[in-house]
Amino acid sequence: MITLQQLQGLVDTIVVVMMENRSFDHMLGFLSHEAFDGRPDIDGLRLPTKDFDLSNPDSAGRLFAPTATPDGYLPTDVPHSRTEVATELRGGAMDGFITTYQASQSLDKSPVPMRFNRPDDIPITASLARNYTVCDHWFASVPADTQPNRMMALSGETLIDSTPGSLTLFKAEHTLLDWLASKKLDFKIYVDARSILDVGPPSNLLLMPSQWGHVLAHAEPLDGLAEPWKSDAPAPKFMYCEPFYNDFATVLGQHGNCNHPPLPVGYGEDFLRRVYETLTSNPKKWARTVLIVCYDEHGGFFDHVAPPHMTYAPPPGNKWTQQVPFATLGVRIPGIVVSSLVAAGSSSHLLFDHTAILQLVVDRFGTPADLGFFGQALARKTNRTNPVQSLGSTLTLSAPRNDILTGLVSPVVHTGAATTPPISELGMLFRQVLAAKPAKRP
Amino acid sequence: MRSISLKGFSRLRRLSVLLSLSALACCAHDAVLAFHVEPPLLCPNQTVAITWKVRGRAQLKANPTPPGWKEDVPSDGGLPAVTVGQDTTFTILAPDANQARGSSFASQEARVTAQTDNRAVQAMCDASGTCSGTLTIDADKSVRVKRMANPTWRSGFKVADHEVCVTPPSGSRTCLAPNTSAALDLPASGVWKFDMKLAQTELGDPPPELRVFFDFGCK
């Protein structure tokens, strides 16, 4: 591990890609699986033996093992609300994923939560995992769904404990963007769309009025990154690279690439490839960049590691639906640190949650006292039982590697019998409204 | 470098109206609305009843595909008696749906009884060290459990032999020692209860699974 002083001298830019709704075992379990990479250093999936079995039962007691399944659209979303995550975890038994899925809907009875991805179906993720550092003890911040976890990633606290079912604006205070702005540190939000309004709420920023000013001032289309990145102009200190979120994409009659079920992950793989290739297009800047690829939460997919205990009580001013503390972290998520400052094919078993991102940014651009700006981030770092580490602790090389992955090829998404139609009538209407001139006010 | 249009952002109010409209418009999209395959467990060459309801065009696939199977089906329909000779997965599709929205297909399986199954109960343990739970088998009335064998328990994904007691839906409680079996010949359908007693060195946290092999047969 490099020192704090080295970190501050070696890194100019931190980039965060936070995808949607996949567990560690679902995306990276193949790394340890005997049928694939068989790596002993990764706490992932294994074949069953007489005295070891990761299977989950359904309500009839039938057992379903984690199964490598070709990528494709899923029948439906996989349950992952606060209440549903609790039944999936079943007090740490980690065997309630099938029963929760089947209880959440009556149409599909296939063992969707036990699917895991073959490396050939996720060539970009697999390449990054094999050539950089895999974090196999990175847990979602709370055992709940998207918005609470994204709030924790952004500000170290969450004033909601579940994602509302309808479009709802959130209150957000002391976010990473607020801190960066207060420190006059240059940052950008790159969205994989022609405009911010085409991508919907990125990192939930559009749902938080307090963040709208940052979005207006700092959001740009992802394909606008390539030109300035290749130039000698100074790079931003911090960047979000945002996929096209599926809930919004479907309003337009399209598909997203954020990996949220029922999407296949192939579209997300292409997004990751473009981000990686853009960032590595300038080797000089890439040598001083840390790219974090992670997921907001597990999305209802099986993972075999019980989240550690860590209490998080409703903060002041909260709008939680259940005024009961979270007792554990959320389910493990895939986390990969992609940087010239990590060893190829390495792994980190340190405890991370999303506040580890805040720690890394503060380690690089702030002082230790700055961590107190962010809700629970400091408390988690100093937790006496399970201290959450800074992602800076994954950086181990005091001189950057100069190798860059080339020839990455995105997978072809097989849509099966059904197809994704071109833009819908509603999507056309949406675009017409956006294209129209604003109405004059009297 | 391109930048985000402020003009577009000022239209957030209209955007929210559109989002509300889209929520209303959701129900006009093609989707699978209902799907049932009953019973899910049956004897060889018995029949299952399949019913479905799809908004838009519908297809019904079977794997393996029975001879003469026709995939194009009415949007709202049913097949009252499909003969099943082997495990078969039925999938209903709304082929014109945007798959990214979900509910564009759904699968259910009809299993025949020519196999031994390891059946597991998600148990909870009380303060006395008794751990128990239930499973519910939905099967044709002719399906029988002929034999139970080889009880185990799993805690933290480690599986070990253990005595487990089983109370069938219609029958008395039977305790199985490790590596033993018991003949039954009872109807499979209904709620089965498993229980076990923790030894002093065994922990009920995390909650364990209790497992017993069932040999299924037919009347």
Q: What angle do CA B116, B120, B121 make, to 5 degrees?
A: 145
The nearest alpha carbon in chain B to A59 belongs to B135
In a domain, A315, yes or no: yes
pLDDT band at A209 (very low <50, low <70, confident <90, very high): confident
Q: Is A207 or A410 the better-scoring residue by pLDDT?
A: A410
pLDDT band at A230 (very low <50, low <70, confident <90, very high): very high
- What pLDDT score was predicted for residue A441? 37
Residue A38 Cα, gap to closest chain B Cα (Å) = 19
- What pLDDT score was predicted for residue B31? 96
pLDDT band at A201 (very low <50, low <70, confident <90, very high): low
Which pLDDT tens digit goes with each residue over B187-216? 999 999 999 999 999 999 999 999 999 999
| Residues of chain B found within 8 Å of residue A414, distances taken between Cβ atoms | none
Residue B185 Cα, gap to closest chain A Cα (Å) = 18
Query: CB-CB: which of B1, B35, B59 is closest to A228?
Result: B1
Instruction: Return the C-alpha torsion angle A362, A368, A369, A375, nearest 10.
Output: 50
Instruction: Give a three-class secondary structure readout of chain B.
Output: CCCCCHHHHCCHHHHHHHHHHHHHHHHHCCEEEEEEEECCEECCCEEEEEEEEEECCEEEEEECCCCCCCCEECCEEEEEEEEECCCEEEEEECCCCCHHHCCCEEEEEEEECCCEEEEEEECEECCCCEEEEEEEECCCCCEEEEEEEEEEEEECCEEEECCEEEECCCCCCEEECCCCEEEEEEECCEEEEEEEECCCCCCCCCCCEEEEEEEEEEC
Domain count, chain A: 1
Calpha distance A234→B153 (Å, rounded)? 60
| Residues of chain A found within 8 Å of residue B105, distances taken between Cβ atoms | 73, 75, 108, 416-418
Query: CB-CB: which of A53, A74, A196 is closest to B157?
Result: A53
In a domain, A151, yes or no: yes
| Residues of chain A found within 8 Å of residue B208, distances taken between Cβ atoms | 93
Does the distance separating the beta carbons of B11 and A438 come in below 8 Å? yes
Does the distance separating the beta carbons of A221 and B2 come in below 8 Å? yes
Q: Has residue A416 got a pLDDT over 90?
A: no
Mean pLDDT of A73-84: 96
Instruction: Output the domain CATH number for residue A362.
Output: 3.40.720.10
Residue B7 Cα, gap to closest chain A Cα (Å) = 8
- What pLDDT score was predicted for residue A294? 98
Mean pLDDT of A258-268: 95
Query: CB-CB: which of A110, A429, A433 is closest to B11?
Result: A433
Q: Which is nearest to A56 in space by CA: A298, A300, A302?
A: A302
| Mutation to test the B interface, candidates A43, A45, A50, A62, most B Cβ within 10 Å | A62
CA distances (Å), B117 to each of A59, A346, B41, B120, in order? 14, 40, 12, 9
| Contact (Cβ atoms closer than 8 angstroms) between residue A189 and residue A15 | no
Calpha distance A12→A286 (Å, rounded)? 9
- What pLDDT score was predicted for residue A29? 98
- Provide CATH code, domain B116-218: 2.60.120
In a domain, A348, yes or no: yes
Does the distance separating the beta carbons of B9 and A75 come in below 8 Å? no
Q: Is A196 or A288 the better-scoring residue by pLDDT?
A: A288
Mean pLDDT of A29-51: 97
- What pLDDT score was predicted for residue A216? 84
Calpha distance A163→B174 (Å, rounded)? 46
Calpha distance B134→B136 (Å, rounded)? 7
A381's tokens: 């770092």
Query: CB-CB: which of A167, A420, A434 is closest to B99?
Result: A420
| Residues of chain B found within 8 Å of residue A255, distances taken between Cβ atoms | 98-100
Report yes or no on whether pTM surpasses 0.90: yes
Mean pLDDT of A195-215: 73
- Share above pLDDT 90 across residues of chain A, in percent, rounded to a whole number: 80
A347's tokens: 């792994």
Calpha distance A427→A26 (Å, rounded)? 32
Does the distance separating the beta carbons of A109 and B40 come in below 8 Å? yes
Instruction: Return the C-alpha torsion angle A348, A353, A357, A360, nearest 10.
Output: -50
Calpha distance A291→A381 (Å, rounded)? 21
Query: CB-CB: which of A219, A246, A430 is closest to B100?
Result: A246
A274-288 exposure pattern, b = at least 16 Cβ within 10 A, e = fewer: bbbebbbebeebbbb
Q: Has residue A222 got a pLDDT over 70?
A: yes
- What pLDDT score was predicted for residue A30? 98
Q: Minimum mean pLDDT among A97-106, A225-234, A252-261, B129-138: which range?
A: A252-261
In a domain, A441, yes or no: no
| Residues of chain B found within 8 Å of residue A267, distances taken between Cβ atoms | none
Calpha distance A123→A76 (Å, rounded)? 24
The half-sphere exposure of A389 on its side-chain side, counting CA atoms within 13 A, is 14
Instruction: Give a three-class secondary structure readout of chain A.
Output: CCCHHHHHHHCCEEEEEEECCCCHHHHHHHHCCCCCCCCCCCCCCCCCECCECCCEECCCCCEECCEECCCCCCCCCCCCCHHHHHHHHHHHCCCCHHHHHHHHCCCCCCCHHHEECCHHHCHHHHHHHHHCEEECCEECCCCCCHHHHHHHHHHCCCCCCCCCCCCCCCCCCCCHHHHHHHCCCCEEEEECCCCHHHHCCHHHHHHCHHHHHHHHHHEEEHHHCHHHHHCCCCCCCEEEEECCCHHHHHHHCCCCCCCCCCCCCHHHHHHHHHHHHHHCCCHHHHCCEEEEEEECCCCCCCCCCCCCEEEECCCCCCCCCCCCCEEECCCECCEEEEECCCCCCEEECCCECCHHHHHHHHHHHCCHHHHHHCCCHHHHHCCCCCCCCCHHHHCCCCCCCCCCCCCCCCCCCCCCCCCCCCCCHHHHHHHHHHHCCCCCCC
Calpha distance B197→A299 (Å, rounded)? 35
Q: Which is nearest to A142 in space by CA: A303, A382, A327?
A: A327
Cα B10 to the center of its chain, rounded Å? 48
Residue A236 Cα, gap to closest chain B Cα (Å) = 14
pLDDT band at A18 (very low <50, low <70, confident <90, very high): very high
Q: Has residue B16 got a pLDDT over 60?
A: no
pLDDT band at A412 (very low <50, low <70, confident <90, very high): confident
Calpha distance A21→A18 (Å, rounded)? 10
Does the distance separating the beta carbons of A251 and B99 come in below 8 Å? no
Mean pLDDT of B47-68: 96
Mean pLDDT value across chain A: 91
In a domain, A370, yes or no: yes
pLDDT band at A422 (very low <50, low <70, confident <90, very high): very low
| Residues of chain A found within 8 Å of residue B154, distances taken between Cβ atoms | 53, 95
Domain boundaries, chain B: 29-112, 116-218
Q: How many residue pairs from chains A and B have C-beta atoms closer than 8 A?
A: 195
Calpha distance A42→A24 (Å, rounded)? 11
Does the distance separating the beta carbons of B108 and A52 come in below 8 Å? no
Does the distance separating the beta carbons of B5 and A195 come in below 8 Å? yes
| Mutation to test the A interface, candidates B1, B2, B3, B4, most A Cβ within 10 Å | B4
Which pLDDT tens digit goes with each residue over A148-180? 999 999 999 999 999 887 777 878 889 999 999
**What are the φ and ψ backbone dihedral angles of A355, each rounded to 5 degrees?**
-70, -10
Q: What is the span of the domain harbouring residue A313? A: 4-398+409-435
Mean pLDDT of A129-139: 98
Which pLDDT tens digit goes with each residue over B87-131? 999 999 999 998 999 999 999 999 998 778 999 999 999 999 999
CB atoms within 10 A of CB B181: 15
Does the distance separating the beta carbons of B9 and A197 come in below 8 Å? yes
Calpha distance B125→B208 (Å, rounded)? 8
Q: Is A4 or A421 the better-scoring residue by pLDDT?
A: A4
| Residues of chain B found within 8 Å of residue A254, distances taken between Cβ atoms | 100
Does the distance separating the beta carbons of A107 and B103 come in below 8 Å? yes
CB atoms within 10 A of CB A186: 14
B78 - beta bridge partners? B51
Calpha distance B200→B1 (Å, rounded)? 69
| Contact (Cβ atoms closer than 8 angstroms) between residue A162 and residue A81 | yes
- What pLDDT score was predicted for residue A435? 46
CATH architecture of the domain formed by B29-112: Sandwich (2.60)
Mean pLDDT of A62-90: 96
- Share above pLDDT 90 across residues of chain B, in percent, rounded to a whole number: 81
pLDDT band at A49 (very low <50, low <70, confident <90, very high): very high
